[in-house]
Structure 1
């Protein structure tokens, strides 16, 4: 029996027909202004895309696991490692924690030693007691990565581990350190020597990444996605050029790079970002003359950006990190560490770390995000975003290359100037509330109060050096105002904004809500009123209540009659403003 084709009754509709319908429905409104999204990344996004928009995409027929790896490194499925970062206090305590979280779903450890501390072999051995280096991924952050790789190399041989199965990375990125501090670990010359030594010392650990190119500094300093892609690519290319010019074979070094990116809240753009970067890196590495396409694969670790996280209404951070994690996973990252919701303002506790772990465990175990390789493939929208990001990032990368590479461009101020301009635009959008940070610049929880003494010092940026990239959070300007109010309220009565609602019901309600939101983000108490029947009634109520601020909320027409009488009656008792 022949199957009935349900769509034969519906004739195809051309793009021209769709456009005719859209233009008609716009009723004279400008198509570009009304429907075309002018992104901050320097390209326009159309209101709809169709199959014909994929025609010029060169990689559209590439399968997962194939060069140029837009669709990911894996031929089947979308497995990623669940990583949790742990700050080392002492070897035995940290070992107990690692063993505990291993049993709770973690399969990748980020082991972070405090600044200035370089552990010896005995200490690392105690820290890794009962942890198999050929089963768990081990990632180390330490001031002396060369010492760490020597220890790891010796220990895996001592315990007779399969060297091909030992996986992990070293958090070593001299250029990102220089970009944020103005200094190298030791010096430019010595750091590049260390880099070469790492590839010699780790030569027998083929699946252990010896450099982690830290691209998180760009997004967390306010940069856009195109800048993030291009500048991270430029840093990595500087490293690649140095290594190959100093006797290292491209086949031996390219696949030993790991990239650390932050993921933000722009859901589809972030999915496209990871796909675009794999394409860009594979093309760059291929240009160095690798012998096999496998050597051009990109290994990406991802963590949530701190830039859009907030002190106030912190549980919203859970929602942010969940959708961001979805973007990263759908974009095909290799490992993910979810930022605990309270990490930006205090030391994470057992509860916040458990929630962070479980967010990605649920995405894997209950939402099955690990089952399908590159689910975004074929999406007209995401494929076009990917292509646009590739084009724009490559253009910017070439500009950096023309200036002599990343380090030279940074010394000339090119990197900082672009990031600063992009950050300033974001700051302006937050101030004007074109960009919403729920609970901070929009819809504050006015019952939430914070004792500023309980906030860790690093929560608020104090440094502003135009010669460096300074990571900060977009919410800080609003938070500083609100924290001042909270500090004042510890010893004084909290300021009250009192709504003088009168007249047109719709307008008084709309303006009282706007004013309540406006003063609420500064930490003021809000006293709303159901609407006064006469101006005199409202004036008498205000005199009795004695609020700090009286906000007149009515319609434009009624303002002409009531604003001046209300102001004259209350100006000596309260600050009177017009909503």
Structure 2
């Protein structure tokens, strides 16, 4: 049989030809001039991550990364995954936060009977593990502890429960540097406890929890750099206490955040394994094992408003974590930002992984992202950026020294400020919050989350500023004053309604003074086309103010219209506009 060439009937595809076509489209859109170099088109269409990594619109074979860097699945540098095959999928790990041992025990048993393969117990009261784990077959179900300042006491309790049982996995969850990051100067870590635990534990003892930095606003490279610096500090503590390198490396598990940006999640997990393999090589530990990874769907991306959208966010995050090769994946329940999950939200969370593995067959192919020029490039550039972050932390004296000095926290804060600015401008949109809010959503009520100690790095959620406005708005409203036929005003009326509803404001719509009086509003916004504004904006604004409008905005680019006090348009600082309108309505005054 002759070779089948799928492109035989087409002209050869060349990057230069593609650039010319793209440049032509941008000229028509007014983003380029005809005399500009077509190569400029790629620059205009390149976006950047918070680490400054450019994401181009097109990747080709010219962008391929060498096999010596990428490797193969199950072999160092483990970029393509820690195992040769992943047909069984990942460890489905459910987190339990409820301090009531009876409630948690019931939830644990339901999880294990319905697809969960390991347990993550966070903040359990001292002395409660016997009740929580009653009936759990510890030789089959790995348990990961997360006890904070009570790590030693909880570990002692768990090890006593284990007795002679040899569990298949799990972790005692000691993370003294992570606690220092979370609690601040009030907590001074003792790294010698790691070796003391390791000498008597049949399971690994240390968790490098990088989600602390993610939740504080860190970029992906900062999160990775902090995890590497923390991991190295733990290796030093363990080997200084007499463990050999192989034993020390085997004591660590790394926990990373997975958000809805699936490609960055995939690249982050691949880069983390590559970097940790390099660390093992530099330390002289050989390349026998890869990084043990636990991916958790991001807390920062979760919303309290329209929480059902979180089901979509966590599915995308779990997809990225699975494709990225995480050994264990925790899907947070959709109501995680509201309070303690109920049985329904826990079921949907665990079934998200089950569906991805069992129905979507996501684990059938090893490293499905491998060979993607985009993913390979993103992985490589992210790994280099993370290594720079790690070496900077080491030059400062290590992770603990960096936390004590405050420089790293300040750099994370700078990234958060950039992200917060993009959230305010809606360049980073939040579906159901800053875009397409649902003011009539049914309230989701949950038992409050246990109070978490703080004092160190802050914890942010992307939706927090918009949700604060929604909480304060009550039944406040702004009148959308339409001008002209429906076909003329619909686009801008919809834009304005979407913007103001993001701040919790109801948006009754109508025409002129009569509609304004019937709306019960004290602030109005004009909505029409530029052509109609030229003739009608000023008289309508005057009419509205005569009817009692204290403030009049216009949906469109700023212009010189008498009677119009402010303008709203694509790219405006939405949070600033909403806060100003709240103030003028009298909310919070």
Counterpart among 347, 352, 361 of residue 368 in structure 1: 361
Q: Distance in 2 between matches of 1:317 and 1:525?
A: 24
The corresponding residue for 1:406 is 399
Q: What is aligned with 1:489? A: none
SS at 2:355 equivalent: helix
* 1:140-539 aligned within 5 A: 140-142=145-147, 143-158=149-164, 161=165, 163=166, 165-183=167-185, 187-188=188-189, 191-202=190-201, 205=202, 208-290=203-285, 292-295=286-289, 297-448=290-441, 456=448, 468-486=456-474, 494-503=475-484, 505-529=486-510, 532=511, 538-539=512-513
The list of structure 1 runs, each at least 4 consecutive aligned residues, that deviate by more than 6 angstroms after superposition, is: none
Matches of 1:225 and 1:320, distance apart in 2: 18
Cα distance, 1:42 vs structure 2: 1.5
The two structures have a TM-score, normalised by structure 1, of: 0.87
Write the distance in 1 (CA, Å) between the matches of 2:19 and 2:533: 44
Q: Residue by residue, what CA displacement relative to the aligned partner does 1:249-277 show, whole Å, maximum 9, x if unpaired?
A: 11111022001111112111111100000
- Aligned CA distance change for structure 1 residues 183 and 209 (closer, same or farther; 3 Å): farther
Alignment of 1:131 with 2:105, yes or no, is no
Deviation at 1:475, TM superposition (A): 0.9
Q: CA deviation at 1:569?
A: 3.0
Aligned to 2:13: 13
Native 8 Å contact 2:224 2:272 kept in 1? yes
CA shift for structure 1 position 340: 0.7
Corresponding residue to 1:118 among 118, 122, 126: 126
Aligned residue number for residue 565 of structure 1:
539
User: For 1:444 and 1:299, how far apart are their aligned partners in 2?
Assistant: 39
Cα deviations by residue, 1:85-136 (Å, 9 ceiling, x for unpaired): 223645555434322221111110112344xx432xxx54444333222211
After superposition, the Cα gap between the structure-2 partners of 1:10 and 1:240, relative to the gap in structure 1 and judged at 3 Å, is same
2:342–2:446: 8 Å Cα contact kept in structure 1?
Answer: no
Structure 1, unmatched stretches of 5+, are 487-493, 533-537
Q: TM-score, normalised by structure 2?
A: 0.85
Instruction: Name the residue aligned to 2:92.
Output: 82
2:144 is paired with a residue whose SS is: strand
1:106 is aligned to: 116
Task: Provide closer, same or farther for how the CA distance between residues 89 and 423 of structure 1 changes in structure 2, counting only shifts above 3 A.
Answer: closer
The Cα offsets for residues 32-81 of structure 1, whole Å up to 9 and x where unpaired, read as 44222233211212221112211546323x22110111111111125211
Distance 2:138 2:449 in 1: 36
Question: 2-side partners of 1:91 and 1:342: how far apart?
Answer: 21
Shift in CA distance, 560/4, structure 1 to aligned 2, threshold 3 Å: closer
The separation in 1 between residues aligned to 2:219 and 2:385, in whole angstroms, is 11
Measure how far apart 1:507 and its partner are: 4.4
Distance 2:78 2:178 in 1: 25
1:490 alignment counterpart = none
**Equivalent residues of 2:192, 2:238 under 8 A apart:** no
Q: Match of 2:429, SS? A: coil
Once residues 345 and 411 of structure 1 are traced to their aligned partners in structure 2, the CA distance between those partners, rounded to angstroms, is 32
Q: Whole-Å Cα distance in 2 between the matches of residues 471 and 19 of structure 1? A: 43
How many angstroms does 1:498 deviate by? 1.8
Q: CA RMSD in A?
A: 2.6
- Distance between the aligned counterparts of 1:420 and 1:2, measured in 2? 60
Does the CA contact (< 8 Å) of 1:85 and 1:109 recur in 2?
A: yes
Check 1:442–1:124 CA distance in 2 against 1; reply closer, same or farther (3 A cut): closer
2: CA distance, partners of 1:555 / 1:2: 60
Task: Return the alpha-carbon distance in structure 1 between the equivalents of residues 65 and 292 of structure 2.
Answer: 29
Deviations 1:521-555 (A, max 9, x none): 121221123xx5xxxxx223334544332222223
The corresponding residue for 2:529 is 555
Q: Choose 231-240 or 385-394, whichever is displaced more.
A: 231-240
Q: 2 CA distance for matches of 1:498 and 1:34?
A: 38
Q: Quote the Cα distance in structure 1 between the aligned partners of 2:85 and 2:442.
A: 49
Would you say the 8 A contact 2:65–2:377 is kept in 1? no
Aligned partners of 1:31 and 1:39: how far apart in 2?
Answer: 19
Q: Which SS does the other structure have where 1:525 is aligned? A: coil
The residue matched to 1:559 in structure 2 has which SS? helix
Question: CA 1:558/1:347 → structure 2, altered by over 3 Å: closer, same or farther?
Answer: same
Distance 1:437 1:308 in 2: 9
Change over 3 Å in CA distance of 1:427–1:457 after alignment to 2? farther
